[in-house]
Amino acid sequence: MKITQVMVEFEKRVNDGDYGSEKATAQYVALIDDGEDPDDVVRQLVNRGRDRVIGELRSSETLAVRRRLNPPKRICGECGEELGDEDSYEHDACREKRRAERALVDGQHRIDDDGHGEDSPF
């Protein structure tokens, strides 16, 4: 089977938080040249449509729509760096560092006035 043309439609609808929504749609048709991979053309068109549609919605006049498409960066509560998708409130490494520091501080508080730990026979 020889594919001679592909059509792609990309649509995104964003809730405006006030019982409404905004929708943007991009539709592209491309003729396939000999030797061209139709799947590559489809991927390129989908990416182009996504960029176009999201770009339109990001510049919406409605603040709620713009905010949904431009969410604030999630920042680690420990180091202040941006969090990844898998992180909750802090990086795993930051959490472990904080726990180690707390354990060290807790260990220092267990030392009595004459410099011996609680378990010391002195």
pTM across the whole model: 0.61
81 and 121: one domain?
A: yes
- 11 with 59, same domain? yes
**Does 9 share its domain with 56?**
yes
Task: Tell me the pLDDT tens digit for each residue of 6-34.
Answer: 999 999 999 999 999 999 999 999 999 99
Residues 65 and 10 in one domain: yes
Looking at the fold, whether 50 and 85 belong to one and the same domain comes out as no
Could you tell me the residue range of the domain that residue 122 belongs to? Answer: 74-122
Residues 45 and 80 in one domain: no
Task: Give pairs for 53-59: CB < 8 Å, separation 24+.
Answer: 53/10, 53/11, 53/12, 53/24, 53/25, 53/26, 54/12, 54/24, 56/24, 57/12, 57/14, 57/22, 57/24
Whether residue 65 is found in the same domain as residue 120: no
Can you give the pLDDT at residue 109?
67
Specify whether 55 is located in the same domain as 97: no
